[in-house]
Structure formats: C-alpha cells, structure tokens
Amino acid sequence: MNSNKQSFFIDGEWQEPASSARIEVINATTEEVIGVVPEGREADIDRAVAAARRALQSPSWGGLSPAERSKAMLRFADAIEKRGPELARSVSMQNGMPINVADQLESGFVVAMLRYYAALAKDMVVEESRPSPMGFTSLVRREPVGVVGAIVPWNFPVALSMMKIGPALAAGCTIVLKPSPGTVLDSYILADAAEEAQLPAGVVNWVPGGRELGAYLVTHPGIDKVAFTGSTAAGRIIAQECGRLLRPVTLELGGKSAAIVLEDADLGALVQGLPTASVLNNGQACFSCTRILAPASRYDEVVEAVAGAVSALVVGDPLERTTQIGPMASAIHRDRVQGYVEKGKGEARLVAGGSKVDRERGWFVQPTVFADVDNSATIAREEIFGPVLAIIRYDGEDDAVRIANESEYGLGGTIWSTDRAHAAELARRIDTGTLGINGYMPDLNAPFGGIKASGLGRELGPESVAGYQRYKSIYQLG
C-alpha cells in the first residue's frame, strides 16, 4: 500500500494545499514510507474554519432539524462501515495496532458510535418551555456551540476523532479536525466517506499537521470550542490558551491507572482480561491499568500470573491475526518507552521481558513487568505509554485505595474480584473518571474521561453532546 495525497478535504471538496510542505507516513513494522500527504499551513486552517462557519450558518446544515442531521450522520456511518477493513489496516500499519484491535475499535466501534449519536440527534429536544415560579414562562434552548477545533493523537486516531465528530454533529456544530502527523492516512478514508455520504460542504474538514498547526487552530478567532485528546503537557498549554480566550474546551489527557486485584480475585479472569485492560494497543492506550496492585496475602501468586501472562503475549507483525503486541508508533516513542524499561531495572525487580525484541525492523518493545515497585518510583508515577507494567504490594483494602488514588492522574482503573457488589462498593472510593470490574471497555452510553491531570469534560454517552451545546434562556414576560 502506498497512499500519496495531494489535497485536503475542505468545504466538501478536495482543495490544493497552501504550501508544498509534506508529511511522510512510515509503517511502524517495516519502517517503510507508506504515504505522503500535504502538511497543513495557517492558510489551510483559515480556509477550513471559514468553510465550517459558512456550513454552520447555511440552510443545508445550520438549517436542518436534529432529525435531518441524524439522517446525514447515518449516511456517513454507512459510508464508513464500507471502508471498515481499509480503516483498520491503515491504522494498524501506521501505529502498530494489532489488526484484531483495529477491527474492533477503529472500525466497528466507530460506526456504532456514529449511529449512537445519530439516534440521539433523531430524538433531540432543543427547546423546552418552562413555567417559572415567578409567574411567566421561559424558553430554554440548546444551541450548537459553533465551529469546533478538534485535535487528536496517533494512538486511536479514528475512534478519538469520532468521539468528537459524533456528538458535535448531533448538536449541530461543524468541525475542523487536525490529525496527528503520525496517523493521517485514516483521516483521508474518513474524508472519502464524508464525500460519498454527501455531508453538506464544510461540516467536517480535515487539515493534518504538527503541534504548531494545532496551536494555531486552538487560538483561531473563528473557533468557538476546542476538543483535544493528547498528552497532559499539551493539554495544560491548550487549557491556558482557552482560559485566556474564555473558550470552552474538552481535554482528554494521560493516565496511570490502577488494577486492584482483591484477595478473592479469580486470577484466571485477570490473566484473560489483562491484555485489554493493561496493554491494549501495545500499551498505547490512555486508560491502561499499568499499576497492578496485589494483596500481600497473594502477592507471589499475582506476580507469577501477571509475569506469565505478559511473557506469553505474541509479539509480531500487527497485521497477523495472532499478534497481540505490535511495534510502538514511532522510533522516538520506542526510545522513550525503552528508556523507562532501563530506568525500571534500577527501581524494581524485573520479572518479565526487559530485553530487546529480536527483529530487524520495526519499533518493538518487549512486554515487560516489574515487581516490588514502590508507588513513588518513576515507573509507577509517569505515563510510559508502552507494554510496561508495575506490580505494587498493598496491605488491606484501605491501603489499596490509598495507593490507587496517590496519582497525578485519574482516568481509568479496574477492580478484580469474585464479589461484584463489593468491588462496586470499592469502586466508589477510587478517584477516577471510569472504572471496570473484572475487565475494562469504554461504553458508548456512559461518559468517558478523566479527573486531575487526566483532563476536563467528558466524551461518549449523551453527556458529551452537552459539551457541544450552549444554553439560551428566553424569558417570556409579556
């Protein structure tokens, strides 16, 4: 596959880029160039924002009822579904995601998400008449917040885009989306689908580029709301800019979540659920439970089970159906993750992995587990974003809750127990935005997001639509 592109999808058509700058996309497994696309410049963003503004005010989008928007969204979902296998393959080659994961989360989940928001749009009530206790009536309206500037990272490029596009379209907004330079080819497949579905011109526009282009989009005077997924460091900068501009912003940032293994846990279930809960997408998932909290009474047993499960993971070409762990998304990122593995060797006891993967090409890191990790160690505090787990001992459930909560982050988490009611009770004490019992999987119908350094606001669920709406109250006094 070699995907070379010459243009951007702006205003419902393929437009020439403002400059000759190009982004080379490299296959994470073969290290070969698999595509070259134009790199966006400020002038491209200007055109995209202007197109999105026109669409917002146009009869063909701004004038549609929510039920009519829903129909357009369903057409878009159908067009994406047709391209599902192509999308999954594209993501897998670009960032190393195992193809089974890509099929599920970058294809099936994405189509289901768009249909979910289309269904919400269909039944959306945008105006409500409320009797006032003061003797008159108020009309309370939910209006689209306007033109959205959306910025996504490279780890789940399609799903994280749809977490913004879905609720934004349901609310009646328009979008300018900036994909990460590492994963841009999938955005062209989405744009093809938008074109086939005849989404009205300017409703969704894609301009790929790096962080400077992202920064330009964030502060652009034509943007009404920013939706960002990425690192906490970038999120803090974007939050500052949006604070200065008093611009609404949603931030989905990093994590360092805890998997609490209770004394009554079924370790067979833990071993089965761990690949998804802790090392999904080669550990390149924001919600990964990379701190495993093991009870002192079963400590050795948990270490053995986790080390065994991680050592057994099949590392290889992400396009092979049997592969469970593919390469890291870039050489720089591989070096960063490998650096944490070396750091961990000085901080804790290595019980699985830790060596180089014996392959000539590809940015692989061997799945690695450290035991006897102190919660204050670097490998327990910092987000590694690779297949590297830290096992931490706890004494009693209060201690487990304390350790889980002693983190800068609060995004995911899991509790492993055969007593579901007790696990749910304990879950209420964990400072986090989402938590799974005996497994982890974000739910389309439940809000997803973090607290503390993991972010602000929520995606997924009906709640995320509110992030793309603004209220207007009309007091009917006479």
What residues are labeled active site? 252
Residues 406-425 that bind ligand NAD (CB under 6 A): 411
Given a contact cutoff of 8 angstroms between Cβ atoms, the answer to whether 397 and 404 are in contact is no
Shortest Å distance, C-beta 129 to ligand NAD: 37
Given a contact cutoff of 8 angstroms between Cβ atoms, the answer to whether 205 and 9 are in contact is yes
**Per CB under 6 A, 153 contacts ligand NAD:** yes
Which residue from 115, 112, 45 is spatially nearest to 75, judged by alpha carbons?
A: 115
Rounded to a whole number of angstroms, the distance between the first and last alpha carbons of the chain is: 67
Q: Count other C-beta atoms under 10 Å from residue 464's C-beta.
A: 25
Q: Which of 234, 259, 352, 392 touches ligand NAD by CB under 6 A?
A: 234
- Parallel, antiparallel, or unpaired for β 414-416 and 257-261? parallel
Q: What's the rounded Cα separation, in Å, for the pair 5 and 186?
A: 12
Q: Which of 180, 282, 338, 368 touches ligand NAD by CB under 6 A?
A: 180
**Per CB under 6 A, 286 contacts ligand NAD:** yes
Shortest Å distance, C-beta 456 to ligand NAD: 10
Taking the least distance from each CB to ligand NAD, the nearer of 464 and 469 is 464
Taking the least distance from each CB to ligand NAD, the nearer of 240 and 418 is 240
Taking the least distance from each CB to ligand NAD, the nearer of 146 and 447 is 447
**Per CB under 6 A, 281 contacts ligand NAD:** no
Taking the least distance from each CB to ligand NAD, the nearer of 45 and 201 is 45
**Per CB under 6 A, 383 contacts ligand NAD:** yes
Q: What's the rounded Cα separation, in Å, for the pair 27 and 40?
A: 21
**Interface stretch with ligand NAD, choices 84-92, 147-155, 188-196, 349-357 (CB under 6 A):** 147-155
Residues whose CB falls within 8 Å of the CB of residue 466, separated by 6 or more in sequence, listed in order: 142
Measure CA 433 to chain center: 14
Closest CB to ligand NAD belongs to which residue? Answer: 214
**Per CB under 6 A, 26 contacts ligand NAD:** no
Identity of the residue numbered 429: R
Taking the least distance from each CB to ligand NAD, the nearer of 224 and 252 is 252
Shortest Å distance, C-beta 34 to ligand NAD: 19
**Per CB under 6 A, 214 contacts ligand NAD:** yes
**Per CB under 6 A, 206 contacts ligand NAD:** no
Q: What's the rounded Cα separation, in Å, for the pair 336 and 244?
A: 32
Residues 349-368 that bind ligand NAD (CB under 6 A): none
**Per CB under 6 A, 218 contacts ligand NAD:** yes
Taking the least distance from each CB to ligand NAD, the nearer of 62 and 222 is 222
Shortest Å distance, C-beta 287 to ligand NAD: 7
Q: What's the rounded Cα separation, in Å, for the pair 410 and 394?
A: 19
Residues 456-475 that bind ligand NAD (CB under 6 A): none
Q: What secondary structure does DSSP assign to 281-296, as a single string?
A: GGG--TT-EEEEEEEG
Shortest Å distance, C-beta 444 to ligand NAD: 14
Identity of the residue numbered 286: C
**Per CB under 6 A, 253 contacts ligand NAD:** yes
Shortest Å distance, C-beta 372 to ligand NAD: 26
Q: What's the rounded Cα separation, in Å, for the pair 419 and 353?
A: 32
Q: Which of 27, 90, 95, 155 touches ligand NAD by CB under 6 A?
A: 155
Long-range CB contacts (within 8 A, 24+) of 69-73: 69/121, 69/169, 69/170, 69/172, 70/118, 70/119, 70/121, 70/122, 70/170, 71/118, 72/169, 72/197, 72/198, 72/199, 72/200, 72/203, 73/114, 73/115, 73/117, 73/118, 73/121, 73/166, 73/169, 73/170
Q: Which of 189, 238, 249, 388 touches ligand NAD by CB under 6 A?
A: 238
**Per CB under 6 A, 231 contacts ligand NAD:** yes
Binding positions for ligand NAD, rule: CB under 6 A:
151-156, 160, 178, 180, 210-211, 214-215, 218, 229-231, 234, 237-238, 252-255, 286, 383, 385, 411, 450, 455
